[in-house]
Amino acid sequence: MAKLLLEAIRREPAVRRPVWIMRQAGRYLPEYRELRRAHSFKALSGNAELAADVTLMPLKRFELDAAIVFADIMSPMPALGIEFDFDPGPVVANPIRDWDGVNRLRNPDPDAVAPEVMDALRITRAALPDNVALLGFCGAPWTLAAYLVEGRGVKDFPTLRAFAAERPELLDALLSRLSDLMGRYLIGQAQAGADAVQIFDSWAGLLSLNDWRTLIKPHLESLLETVGAAGIPRIVFLQNAPHLVDAYAKLPAEVIATDWRMDLAELQRRYPERAVQGNIDPAILLAGPKATTERVRQLLDSTDPNGHIVNLGHGILPSTPIASVEALIEAVHGES
Amino acid sequence: MAKLLLEAIRREPAVRRPVWIMRQAGRYLPEYRELRRAHSFKALSGNAELAADVTLMPLKRFELDAAIVFADIMSPMPALGIEFDFDPGPVVANPIRDWDGVNRLRNPDPDAVAPEVMDALRITRAALPDNVALLGFCGAPWTLAAYLVEGRGVKDFPTLRAFAAERPELLDALLSRLSDLMGRYLIGQAQAGADAVQIFDSWAGLLSLNDWRTLIKPHLESLLETVGAAGIPRIVFLQNAPHLVDAYAKLPAEVIATDWRMDLAELQRRYPERAVQGNIDPAILLAGPKATTERVRQLLDSTDPNGHIVNLGHGILPSTPIASVEALIEAVHGES
């Protein structure tokens, strides 16, 4: 059976638009919260069987067109010898701020990059219906570097921004290591069963376009080219970075995914050859099923169905009512 | 003596560009930290004599072209009967989420809107050299509503966004009350000695352009028109909202001030009739005086000096070295 998500990535006409939800296996699900009472996030994502169970959880409730492997953007970091924990976001034991920090990074054994994620993908793939796509993912080099340099998620990452200004050559070396590792990691995920991959650039918007172009773009581009050369369809998600959206739309990727701030219809008009993903404001779902249905219909009415993957513009919020998720999916199905 | 800042607002040729720094009277100053050991932020900003002392503090150290009255965007809120504290940002005792909350708001006595701020302006004005401009300020209606609805600063303000989707008529009523109050407040500040005013729209970027246009713009515009009709020069600062920068540049205001993400030179090219303010990344100053000088020179070289007020792109960070502030000011003075 055809996978709607892959048809949309190729911008092929389809019976309806595919839909999945960022963080669809997450805290808004009572069964996930139940499981989390017994296991930490790290324990869940570190155990392939449990991670596969969690990956499949939302598929049991909702008719979604993709599963995304349950892992964290930090999951491949142990391959570089980086120690971290969650509180609740990633907290890095030894932030990298000098050459010693970069030189200390391990040369990863290609077979030992997050093996639990590869196993979770294989288990999920075997259990997944043929028409549901399986997504792998990773953090963009810059977004990973944000945690590695700052040490944890801090409003606007000032230490990272100062580091980028003061030590551009060091940042370059770090991004290069991360870009290489992410290339191998995504190819590994495809080999383990992922049909396509999403690169999360959650902190894309911290720098100006000029600085982004000089410092960050080459590493993101190189990662995308590596993955593209392996024939793997690429979704690039940029969050809170409207000033970079044109630059991202020109990157070598099949799909550009944006947060709720962007006008998706306008993006389709400007880049007709590009598939798009998004971009319902996840906060709308807090307002209940009626508001959700209305917003989804507005989105569907204003955008070209070809090459549009429906999603939220950011991860679903923990306090989201299940009824709103149902309304979202129904509205998408109702269009056909 | 001519005030450089006012010349820049009028886009008149001047001997050099004016410079001031957002949060220039703040925690990076040892003498301010010393004073804060004895007084809470609320106590300092609530006492006109102390607030005037703090307002003048950075002027004693640095050759700045403006003083901005030491107050908080929440300072006029007691006039509406709103109770709040700081922890460290504003925390509202009773968040407004229904009609009862809006209807409960007091009708402010025009003479009792933050009288301590008016007094602080009068005291500062009397002490300030003739060539230094005095700035008043307020929060934009939307940014104030963000705290009143959400209750405190929370990443991306999801409750506020859901509220905007679910209760647009209620948000409209709240913004209208805030816009009216801010109009009176800014006119009062000008009467008390402010040469110009800055409207801080720190949370401008939470909604899409479409939603901003429908829900927020009319109230911001009405505030700007009220202040403009009183002949007061207006600076509008929008933070983290690149997707709205064109819309803001078309608002009735003399100066558009942006954060460090935006290309100020590009903004000048697109809106040649508009003065601009900004936009050094405050994190650059953490990297020390050398990096600061370099960045300031880049900014000066790339932008039109006419109608450019030099500033940071966001409030100065508490850990900023004094030497970096000196380097910033020297670089601006060195251009003449």
Q: Give A216-246 pLDDT, tens digit per residue.
A: 999 999 999 999 999 999 999 999 999 999 9
Mutate to test the interface with B, among A214, A261, A314 (most CBs of B within 10 A): A261
How far apart (Å, rounded) are the C-alpha atoms in residues B129 and B15?
18
The pLDDT tens digits for B251-265 are: 999 999 999 999 999
Over residues B112-133, the mean pLDDT reads 97
Alpha-carbon distance of A247 to A142, in angstroms, equals: 15
Mean residue pLDDT across chain A: 97
Name the residue type at position A30. Answer: P
Chain A, chain B: beta-carbon pairs less than 8 Å apart: 95
pLDDT at B228 over 70: yes
Catalytic residue among A28, A65, A125, A147: A147
Residue among A158, A240, A281 minimizing CB distance to B161: A281
pLDDT at B301 (0 to 100)? 97
Rounded to an integer, the average pLDDT of B183-189 is: 98
- The answer to whether the CB atoms of A205 and B240 lie below 8 A apart is yes
Q: Residue B210: its chain A contacts at CB < 8 A?
A: 263
Kindly compute the dihedral angle of the four CA atoms of residues B2, B6, B9, B15, in this order, to the nearest 10 degrees: 30
- Over range A171-187, report the average pLDDT: 98
How far is the C-alpha of A90 from the C-alpha of B162, rounded, in Å?
Answer: 27
Contact criterion met (CB < 8 Å) for A282 and B205: no
**Cα B131 to Cα A311: distance, rounded to the nearest angstrom:** 55
Mean pLDDT score across all residues of chain B: 97
| Chain B hits for A285, Cβ within 8 Å | 162
CA dist., res. B274 & res. B265, Å (int): 12
Of A155, A165, A260, the CB nearest to B291: A165
Tell me whether A247 touches chain B (CB under 8 Å). no
Distance CA B171, CA B217 (A): 12
Q: What is the pLDDT of residue B283?
A: 97
- The secondary element (H helix, E strand) that includes residue A200 is strand A196-201
Q: Stretch B26-36: mean pLDDT, rounded?
A: 97
Beta strand pairing status for B275-280 and B90-92? unpaired
CA distance A102 to B280: 28
Residue among A158, A206, A282 whose CB faces B286 most closely: A158
Percentage of chain B with pLDDT > 70?
99
CATH of domain B4-333: 3.20.20.210
Contact B164, B211 (CB under 8 A): yes
- Please list every residue in chain B whose beta carbon sits closer than 8 Å to the beta carbon of residue A158: 282-283, 286, 317
Name the amino acid, one letter, at B89.
Answer: G
Does B317 sit within 8 Å of A261, measured CB to CB? Answer: no
What's the pLDDT at B111? 83
Q: How far is B235 from chain A (nearest CA, A)?
A: 22
Rounded mean pLDDT of A64-70?
Answer: 98
Task: State CA A285 to chain mean position distance.
Answer: 20
* Helix B217-229 vs helix B141-150: crossing angle, to nearest 10: 130
Task: Enumerate the residues of chain B whose CB falls inside 8 A of the CB of residue A283.
Answer: 156, 158-162, 165
From chain B, the residues in CB contact with A282 under 8 A are 158
ipTM attached to this prediction = 0.94
Task: With beta carbons less than 8 A apart as the criterion, state whether B51 and B61 touch.
Answer: no
pLDDT per position as a tens digit, B282-333:
999 999 999 999 999 999 999 999 999 999 999 999 999 999 999 999 999 9
Residue B1 has pLDDT above 70, yes or no: no
Mean pLDDT of B129-155: 97
Under the banding of pLDDT at 50, 70 and 90, the label for residue A110 is confident
Residue A2 pLDDT grade (very low, low, confident, very high; cuts 50, 70, 90): confident
Is residue A79 predicted with pLDDT exceeding 90? yes
Look at residue B7 in the predicted model and tell me its pLDDT.
97
Please compute the mean of the pLDDT values over residues A300-304 and round it to a whole number.
Answer: 97
B/e letters for B89-104, b = 16+ CB within 10 Å, e = fewer, are ebbbeebbbeeebbee
A260, pLDDT greater than 70: yes
Instruction: Please write the tens of the pLDDT for every residue from B193-202.
Output: 999 999 999 9
Q: Are A186 and A135 in contact (CB under 8 A)?
A: no
* pLDDT at position A336: 64
With contacts defined as CB-CB under 8 Å, which chain B residues touch A263? 208-210, 243
CB-nearest partner of B291 from A166, A285, A291 = A166
Task: Please return the burial class of A126, using the count of CB atoms within 10 Å of its CB with bins 0-12, 13-18 and 19+.
Answer: exposed
Q: How many CA atoms lie within 13 A of A265 on its CB side?
A: 9
Say what the pLDDT of residue B2 is: 87
The residue among B325, B269, B327, B252 whose CA lies nearest residue B297 is B327
SS3 B201: strand
Per-residue pLDDT reduced to its tens digit, A111-149: 889 999 999 999 999 999 999 999 999 999 999 999 999
Catalytic residues of B: 23, 27, 36, 72, 147
List B residues 12-51 in contact with A (Cβ-Cβ < 8 A): none
pTM over 0.90: yes
Pairing of strands B234-238, B196-201: parallel
Half-sphere exposure of B167 (CA within 13 A, CB side): 18
CA distance B324 to A99: 24
The share of chain B scoring above pLDDT 90, in percent, equals 97
**pLDDT value at A1 more than 90:** no
For chain B, the domains span 4-333
Q: Average pLDDT of A283-287?
A: 97
Instruction: Give the model's pLDDT for residue B270.
Output: 98
Nearest to B284 among A156, A165, A243 (CB): A165
Alpha helices in chain A (DSSP H): 4-9, 30-38, 41-46, 48-61, 99-103, 115-127, 141-150, 158-166, 168-191, 209-211, 217-229, 245-249, 264-270, 282-286, 289-302, 322-334
Q: How confident is the model at residue B97 (pLDDT cuts 50, 70, 90)?
A: very high
